[in-house]
Amino acid sequence: MENWVELIVTYDEIEIQIIKNILEAEGIQVVVNSLKVRPYPVSIGKIGEVRLLVKDDDLEKAKNVIKIMKGTIPEEEKNGN
């Protein structure tokens, strides 16, 4: 059985959905965990957290995809140096 590891923790469900869609488009399996109770707009502490998990084997690839998405990948890495 493969291990799932935490990639991102945020309070923004829209951000998580965008990242989830991009990672899945790159062939990375994603699980989103949330403790939010839908009828109540509560986002205090752990109740408001949304966690995005990926398989341990995909962690580095997922981090690189996010770096590219956010435009924070160093120029050397873009050029393969």
Q: Is residue 79 part of a domain?
A: no
8 Å CB contact between 6 and 49: no
Tell me the residue range of the domain where 62 lies: 4-72
pLDDT tens per residue across span 30-81: 999 887 666 666 556 667 788 999 999 999 999 999 988 888 655 555 555 5
* Count of CB atoms situated within 10 Å of the CB of 33: 13
Residue 81 lies in a domain: no
CA atoms within 13 A on the CB side of 60: 1
Residue range 15-32: average pLDDT? 94
Domain count, the chain: 1
| Position 80 in a domain | no
CATH (domain of 23): 3.30.70.790
What b/e readout covers 41-71, taking b as 16+ CB neighbours within 10 angstroms?
eeeeeeebebbbbbbeebbeebeebbeeeee
3-state DSSP assignment of residue 7: strand
In a domain, 43, yes or no: yes
Residue 57, domain member (yes or no):
yes
Which pLDDT value is given to residue 17? 93
